[in-house]
Amino acid sequence: MPAQIIFKCSFFLSRNALHFFLPHSSRLHQDHRNILYFCRTSPLSLHLTTQGLQKGFAIHVRLVDYTQGYMVAGSRDTFVHDVFPNGFLWGTSTGSFSVEGGWAEDGKGESIWDRFGHQNHVHMNQTANVACDSYHKTDYDVYLLRGLQSKLYKFSISWARIFPTGIRDSFSLQGVNYYNKLINSLLDSNIEPMVTLFHWDLPQALQDLGGWQNESIIDIFANYADFCFATFGDRVKLWITFHEPWVISYAGYGTGQHPPGIADPGVVAHSIIKAHAKAWHVYDDKYRSQQRGKVGIVLNSDWAEPKTPTSSEDVKAAERYMQFMLGWFAHPIFVNGDYPDILKSQIQQKNQQCVSAAILLPSFSEEEKSLVKGTADFFGLSHYTSRLIMVPWGLRRLLKFISQEYTGTGIPIYIAGNGVPTNDGGDVINDTKRMEYFRLYINEALKAIKLDAVDVQTYIARSLIDGFEGPMGYSQLFGLHHVNFEDGNRQRTPKESAYFFSNVIEKNGFPSEVVGRSFPSMTCDSPPPPRLLSLPASEVPSKAKVTGDIACDSYNKLAADLYMLKALRVKSYRFSLSWPRIFPSGRNDSINKQGVDYYKRLINGLTAKNITPMVTLHHWDLPQALQDIGGWENDVLIELFDSFADFCFQTFGDKVKFWITFNEPIITHTLLKAHARVYHTYDRKYRASQKGVISLSLNTEWVEPKSPDDPRDVEAADRYLQFALGWFAHPIFKNGDYPEVMKWRVGNRSELQNLPSFRLPVFTVEEREYIRGTADVFCINTYSTKIVTHKTTRLKPFSYEYDQELSEEVDASWPTSAVSGMRAVAWGLRRLLNWIKEEYGNPPIYITENGVGTQSKSDVDDTSRIFYYKTYIDEALKGIGVICSNGSMMMKDFHCHGLQAGSFSQRGMSFRKLSLTLSILWPEQHKAATELV
């Protein structure tokens, strides 16, 4: 083994070389080409592998730092807590044939992957015929991207979808429309599209003409690229010509693992490089000045680490590996327009050892070298491993190698693909091992930026959703979201890694002040994490079916709920605090820290996503300990509720600016006094510093008189509204007392019932004054419309319902819902808003609940609910025009008189449901006004 000697010398670093000078007393072998390995141990010390020593002279050694990290004990595995630069782009990716499906729809031509699957060359004879059905689910996928908080989406155009035969004469408008819709949807969600022109799926018609072995394809590809630049370039500013051309050349035309299964990689790579260069020049010559975009290429590479860093043979082997995999394409494009010398000499040597040439490596003419050199505005890199399976530090070394070898300080590096698959089977949702992968690999990218000054500007995780993974079909799952390929709807479900990645994006890395979640250290051969029990519905413990013990499990699914809210693009989220979760006994001497922490995490998560928390203090769930002493019939609860509210204002009020005391109060007298007490506490102690608003949410349906010409029916309709809404609204928004019609009805019937006193409680003068005006805004929950008619009702049993003296019905022609008696009658909302305006003096109105139920096992394509939301929101918009007649409420303030849609229940908008696509289906002017999604 060669000796190792430490020399002290002076040196300087240029772009991709280290120039150092040894003292004259040193002995050095004249053939300095043998000196291939070195590392820095101090600013002026180098280890040199030599064969002999002679008098010193200037030596130039190409900078290939294979051992960075070994010299500082433990530095390689140190986790860095820091954030990425401002403007860093986070994203995720897909490939067209992996996810789109619709393989023959709307005139799409056959691709080589369609043919490959149909010839049963894929795992279990699977095909990409449907894949994830993204061709029909653009809105779903963009919704998932919003949930991730992705700033960038890398997707590819299916060449055969827009040019079915591969040439412009076969142009398909439907295919172009699909990509226009996707691009527009992304931009509407503030997501930058990064478009790949070729991600392996060559039109079969072009393959039949020779594919990438036929040089005519270079001009055909340039023409295809020209069309895409012209058609989409006004909105797309990041273009990738080819995704992983090494895979195309090696697996498609070398080993035959990929279609078309031909062994001629050298010619194919040569054509791809020239096609890339020609497309780049098309953009540079025709579109760059106007569109101001960037065009690059994504090259895939592992990192090769010499097994024995002190072995020159191993070091040479690692160098050859890198040049054959990465340099094959990077050296012509980023260095000198030609293949690396190592690659050329190695192939020449191998060919000389054979009777006939075993490998054909075409040559570039001088003109072609000039054409190819410098044809990339960024270096796109996809990286997954370091030939040692999961080796995160390999990414950092690879990035540094690329920076020193190819890009320097002038060309940014985009990490355009990084991830690890899980196997189909077992627990595909709790992918903790992949979370560890992302955590460590992303951190190595951070080290490359912060410690090595490498200009990395994007990180793109592979991939958005599980998809068709070439020869492996659906057996390898790369997605951040699981796709159920057994479900015709192709249901998407976020995995734990999606929540993790979203959190990294939100924090722009790993800030030191955030401790975050603890991740176990994992290696490739470690056993899989424990799997959570997954039971079919019929085997779930019955207790979960009939109680709220588990419900939606939001206490343990905070990340999932925040993810959905971000995906929905809501501006506010109304939720309630569980009084017994914070005060288990209902009193302030039993504070539950874990409960408080849960709500702090929820509130902080919302505000971090620019979602306003609207917090309800009491939504029906009274602590049982307080019910045991009489509940709301006991006036002591006024004091106890005020104590609970005071604690909440003090604990959460720095972030919460919208408070609701009660949701749909039922027992009136005590609750009204409790509400007023809490309002005054906030007004006295917190309003000046916290600057929030406080109200309560009331509920009613709109009612129409059955016979509008019959005064008795008209009066009956008014009575209904006064009993349902005025019971609470009249004391607060008018005079501190119940409506006159209600007092007269109940009083009159109390006399007829021979009662010694009035059944409706009476407020004192002081109480009226205390209650009046205790709401900053008018909050209303409403769902449907009813028809009422006057009816003489019986006197017993005593009932406020009978006191109204009316009967209710619905029109059989009105659309039904899963809730009995709840019909979708949108025009009733507008009439109710007008009634509130006239009755209570035009207060600011917040629609705090509106929605419609579906059957518990209904299909996720809830089109009837889309109709409900569209029509109700449209009526709210019409109502704004009426309510704003005095100019006090402009349409731009609609969110300030906002609409809260549904919930996370059967009335809710799960991420899988079509009602989430409402923003796409809606007329643009309505969408802008409502800000619902």
- Residues classed as catalytic: 849
DSSP string, 520-575: ----TTSPPPPPPP---GGGS-HHHHHSSSSTT-TTT-HHHHHHHHHHHT-SEEEE
Asked if 513 and 507 count as a contact pair (C-beta separation under 8 A), the reply is no
Residue 812 CB: number of other CB atoms within 10 A? Answer: 7
Residue 273 · residue 372 · CB < 8 Å: yes
d(CA 480, CA 15): 38
* Angstrom distances, CA of residue 291 to CA of 185, 234, 236, 577, 669: 19, 6, 8, 51, 66
**In angstroms, what CA-CA distances link 619 with 96, 217, 561, 577, 651?**
47, 66, 19, 8, 19
Packed helices 863-883 and 827-840: angle between N→C axes, nearest 10 degrees: 30
Q: How buried is residue 744: exposed, middle or buried, by Cβ count under 10 Å (0-12/13-18/19+)?
A: exposed
Q: Return the axis-axis angle of helices 593-608 and 558-568, rounded to nearest 10°.
A: 20
Taking the C-alpha atoms of residue 252 and residue 323, their distance in angstroms, rounded to an integer, is 20
Q: Which residue has the tokens 């035309």?
A: 253
- Which residues share a beta bridge with 494? 481
Residue 326 tokens, joined: 């990465």
Beta-bridge mates of residue 616: 576, 660
Residue reference for tokens 């009426």: 882
Q: Measured at the alpha carbon of residue 388, what is the angle toward residues 387 and 390, in degrees to the nearest 5?
A: 110
User: Could you give the CA distance from residue 288 to residue 283 in angstroms, rounded to a whole number?
Assistant: 6
Calculated CA dihedral for residues 619, 625, 626, 628, nearest 10 degrees: 120
First-residue to last-residue Cα distance in the chain: 68
Among 654, 664, 663, 659, which Cα is nearest to 678's? 659
Residue type, 441: Y
Chain centroid to Cα 253, Å, comes to: 36
Cα distances (Å, whole numbers) of residue 252 to 211, 257, 266, 302: 11, 6, 12, 18
Name the phi and psi angles at 632, rounded to 5.
Answer: -75, -5
Question: By the 8 A CB rule, do 339 and 331 touch?
Answer: yes
Give me the residues paired with residue 573 across strands. 613
Is the torsion defined by CA of 322, 324, 330, 336 positive or negative? positive
Cis peptide before 797 (omega within 30 of 0): yes
Residue with tokens 């916290």: 690
H or E segment and range at residue 685: helix 668-685
Q: Which helix H or strand E contains 659, and what residues bound it?
A: strand 658-663
Q: Taking every pair of C-alpha atoms in the chain, what is the biggest distance, in angstroms?
A: 124
Tell me 205's DSSP state: H
User: Which DSSP string do the residues of 410-441 spell out, in sequence order?
Assistant: TS-EEEEEE---EESSS-SS--HHHHHHHHHH
Cβ atoms of 184 and 227 closer than 8 Å: no
